[in-house]
Structures are given as structure tokens and as C-alpha cells.
């Protein structure tokens, strides 16, 4: 609809086309935030093993982000098995175990036990994830997950077993500060030190992680006409030449961009360039496996502005074209006329002779 409106406006305004002017300025913006949009497929990593983390130079860190992210379980052919929005908490169950030890009554509000890891008397752990976080903050190891009511109800161990051999598609966005930082997809965060026994049980060791991936879509901010995202459709396959996984790194240079359309509407967005590098998990310290995107922002901003050719400029071009036609026609006419006269003179001279 937008394109049709612009076409109608251009044609009826006697403007045959709109030109895009570009200008470079210093980016003086401060304190802004940015949405990084992504759609990445891991054909050999189960959804329960993949976590999304962000961190930046200002010290802001977010681990195992679950909001605004959707995970799709896929089989080895890429077919979707299940789609779920991450971070929606535990499934609804009948009469879960309360913090005080009894079962939930109909007139009670659910408050699950943190199994000794509470930071305050009124703290509740209503999901397996919340119990794990509470133990992680204490630095405790959760050695017997089968006794945790929340994890048992959610079928955490069974879910990991069910997802063995599957892949995962993750799409959504993360909200970050507009400063240098990184976001990454790290396998195995669901199996931290508190769940080391599960790693042995399910054979999920770091060297077994296959971080092959395909970036279906990656953008920094909103889309605008003509933007090219260089990582869209990029795929990398891990070769098991030595049986080791590693860290696949993308180094992204983000250029702030403002696009102003022909009607004055502005789109604040970004363009980016990228280089990539694979670092094997060898030596010490061993790099954590995963797919990492390290980004930094250029101090130069690009302004794109759509502009119509003015009516005066349009008329000037028409006059120049008409004048050029007459000039060329005059040259051709003169050439033909003088050529004809020369031939005619030679013919007359021949007759007299």
C-alpha cells in the first residue's frame, strides 16, 4: 500500500522518480537502547540446551534470557516438532507441593519451596528454573533433581531425554544498551555445575556439542528500504575432524542509520559489516562453546533521505533534452544540407566540362 501511494504521488506530481541522498554526521545520541532481532537454527542442539545471554561494556549482563524468545523443536529434516515461548513458567498442575509441605488448596496462592536456598522467608520458587537459580546463587549443587517437586512436575529430565538428537530454531529479539557488547547462544547452560550428574547421564559433554548453525535473519533495529543484512542466510557446518567443538565468533561493526522517506517519516535503524572466526576448544583456558556475536558501534551516523526532483529541476531537464534534440537535429540537417550542395556542385561542374 505504501509503495502504491508513493508511486501515485510521484506520477501525479510530475516526478518520474525519487533520489536517495546520503550524508555522514557524527552520532551524538546517548543512553539509547536497541533491539537485536534474530532467527537462528541449530540443527544438532536441543532447545533445552541452548541459552541466550547478553553482556556489554557498561556491566549489564543477562543470562539465559527467556522473554521475547520463541524456540521451535525441529527434527533432523528441519520439520517443526513443537513451538513454545520461553520463559512462561511452569505448566498448570493440580495441587502442587506448597512451601510449608502440604498440597495447594483451592483457596491458597501457590508458593513453592526453594528447598533451603531461600534468601528471605517470603521467597517462593514456583518453577524448576527458579529452584535452580536459587541454588546457583547460593553456590550449591543440586544433586538429586527427582526430589524437587517443581522439576518432577515439569518433566525436566524427561524433556532432555526426549529432545536428544533434535535441533532447535530460536527467534525473537534481545533489548541491549547502545554500547559495545556481545550476545551469544551458549549450549549447556541448562546443565550447569548443579546438574553435572545429568551431563554424565545423558552424555551431554562440552566436546560433544555440535554448534553448526544457520542464521536465517539478523538485524540491528528496524528494517528500512534497501537495507542489506550480510548475515541473512549464512550457514556454518561444524566438521568433526578432531572431535572438538569450539567458539564461533562474529565481529560486527554497527553503523547507526536514519532513513527519511519521501513524506518525512524517519526510521532509526542500523547497518552493519561483519567478519567471522572459529576458535577451537583447545589449550587453556578453554573457550566456552557457542555462537558469539561481538558488536561495536561506529561514531559516524549515516542519514539517507528520499527526495523528489523539484518541478523547476524537472522542467530544466525537459528543456535541456528538447534543446539537445534540436541541436543534434540542426547538426544533422546542416550536414545533410551541405553534403547535398557539395554533391550538386560537383554534378554541375561535370556537366559543364
Where residue 188 falls among pLDDT bands split at 50, 70, 90?
Answer: low
**pLDDT band at residue 168 using 50, 70 and 90 as cut-offs:** very high
Could you give the CA distance from residue 38 to residue 232 in angstroms, rounded to a whole number? 10
Averaged over 246-255, what is the pLDDT?
94
Q: Is the pLDDT of residue 194 over 80?
A: no
Distance CA 227, CA 259 (A): 10
Report the range of poorest mean pLDDT among 61-75, 190-204, 210-224, 294-308.
Answer: 190-204
Q: Using the predicted structure, report yes or no on whether residue 195 has a pLDDT greater than 80.
A: no
Q: Which three cell numbers stand for residue 142?
A: 543440586
Tens-place pLDDT, residues 274-286? 999 998 877 677 7
C-alpha cell recorded at residue 104 = 495447594
Cβ-contact 280, 246 below 8 angstroms:
yes
Name the region of 4 (left: φ>0; alpha: ψ -120 to 50; beta: rest): alpha
More confident residue, 209 or 234: 234
pLDDT at residue 163, as a whole number: 77
Comparing 173 with 112, which gets the higher pLDDT? Answer: 173
pLDDT value at residue 93: 46
Strand partners of residue 269: 257
pLDDT tens, 10-37? 444 444 556 788 899 999 888 889 999 9
pLDDT digits (tens, 9 = 90+) for 257-272: 999 988 889 999 999 9
pLDDT tens-digit map of 112-146: 888 888 888 888 888 887 887 788 777 777 667 77
Report the C-alpha gap between 228 and 230 in whole angstroms: 6
Give kind and range of the element (H or E) at residue 158.
Answer: helix 156-162
More confident of the two residues 215 and 92? 215
| pTM listed for this prediction | 0.69
Tell me how far CA of residue 290 lies from CA of 51, 180, 211, in angstroms. Answer: 10, 19, 6
Contact call for residues 153 and 91 (beta carbons, < 8 A)? yes
Half-sphere exposure of 338 (CA within 13 A, CB side): 5
Given this model, what pLDDT does residue 197 score? 41
Rounded Cα gap, residues 99 and 121, in angstroms: 10
User: What pLDDT score does 193 carry?
Assistant: 43
Cα(240)–Cα(212) distance, integer angstroms: 11
The closest alpha carbon to 129, from 74, 91, 83, 176, belongs to 91
> Distance between CA atoms of 47 and 73, rounded to whole angstroms?
6
Q: How far is CA 247 from the centre of its chain?
A: 18
The overall average pLDDT reported for the chain is 79
What's the mean pLDDT in 322-331?
Answer: 90
Quote the Cα angle for 46-48-54, to 5°. 105
Task: Judge whether residue 239 has pLDDT over 70.
Answer: yes
Question: Is residue 85 pLDDT above 50, yes or no?
Answer: yes
Residue 215 has pLDDT above 90, yes or no: yes
The per-residue pLDDT for 97 is: 56
Using H for helix, E for strand and C for coil, what is the string for 193-213? HHHHHHHHHHCCCHHHCCCCE
Say if residue 202's pLDDT is above 50. no
Instruction: Answer for the pair 282, 247: CB distance below 8 angstroms, yes or no.
Output: no
Distance (Å, whole) CA 182 – CA 134: 26
Name residue 56's beta-bridge partners. Answer: 181
Can you give the pLDDT at residue 293? 97
Rounded Cα distance between 81 and 164, Å, is 13
Looking at per-residue confidence, does 193 or 67 come out higher? 67
Share of the chain above pLDDT 90, in %: 32
Centre a 10 Å sphere on the Cβ of residue 282 and count the other Cβ atoms it contains.
10
Kind plus residue range of the DSSP H or E element containing 327? helix 311-352
Distance CA 222, CA 36 (A): 9
* Total residues found in the chain within this entry: 353
265-269, 329-333, 343-347: segment of lowest average pLDDT: 343-347
Amino acid at each position: 500500500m505504501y509503495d502504491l501511494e508513493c508511486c501515485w504521488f510521484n506520477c501525479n506530481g510530475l516526478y518520474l522518480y525519487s533520489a536517495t541522498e546520503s550524508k555522514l554526521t557524527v552520532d551524538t545520541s546517548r543512553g539509547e537502547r536497541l533491539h537485536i532481532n534474530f532467527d537462528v537454527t541449530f540443527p544438532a542442539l536441543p532447545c533445552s540446551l541452548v541459552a541466550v545471554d547478553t553482556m556489554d561494556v557498561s556491566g549489564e549482563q543477562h543470562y539465559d534470557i527467556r522473554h521475547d524468545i520463541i524456540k521451535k523443536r525441529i527434527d533432523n529434516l528441519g520439520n517443526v516438532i513443537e513451538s513454545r515461548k520461553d520463559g512462561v513458567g511452569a505448566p498448570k498442575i493440580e495441587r502442587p507441593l506448597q512451601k510449608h509441605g502440604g498440597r495447594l488448596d483451592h483457596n491458597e496462592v501457590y508458593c513453592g519451596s526453594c528447598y533451603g536456598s531461600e534468601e528471605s522467608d517470603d521467597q517462593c520458587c514456583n518453577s524448576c528454573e527458579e529452584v535452580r537459580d536459587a541454588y546457583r546463587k547460593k553456590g550449591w549443587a543440586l544433586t538429586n533433581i527427582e526430589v524437587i517437586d517443581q522439576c518432577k512436575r515439569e518433566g525436566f529430565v524427561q524433556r532432555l531425554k526426549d529432545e536428544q538428537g533434535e535441533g532447535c530454531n530460536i527467534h525473537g529479539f534481545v533489548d541491549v544498551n547502545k554500547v559495545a557488547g556481545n550476545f551469544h547462544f551458549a549450549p549447556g547452560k541448562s546443565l550447569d555445575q548443579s546438574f553435572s550428574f545429568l551431563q554424565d547421564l545423558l552424555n551431554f559433554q562440552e566436546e560433544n556439542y555440535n554448534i553448526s548453525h544457520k542464521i536465517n535473519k539478523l538485524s540491528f533495529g528496524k528494517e528500512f528500504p534497501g537495507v542489506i543484512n550480510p548475515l541473512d542466510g549464512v550457514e556454518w557446518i561444524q566438521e568433526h575432524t578432531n572431535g572438538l567443538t569450539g567458539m564461533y565468533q562474529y565481529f560486527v561493526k554497527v553503523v547507526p542509520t536514519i532513513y527519511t522517506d519521501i513524506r518525512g517519516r524517519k526510521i532509526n535503524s542500523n547497518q552493519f559489516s561483519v567478519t567471522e572466526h572459529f576458535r577451537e576448544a583447545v589449550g587453556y583456558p578453554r573457550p566456552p562453546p557457542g555462537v558469539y556475536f561481538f558488536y561495536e558501534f561506529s561514531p559516524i551516523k549515516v542519514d539517507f533521505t528520499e527526495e523528489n526532483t523539484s518541478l523547476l529541476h524537472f522542467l530544466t531537464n525537459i528543456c535541456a533534452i528538447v534543446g539537445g534534440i534540436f541541436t543534434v537535429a540542426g547538426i544533422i540537417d546542416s550536414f545533410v544540407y551541405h553534403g547535398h550542395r557539395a554533391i550538386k556542385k560537383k554534378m554541375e561542374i561535370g556537366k559543364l566540362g
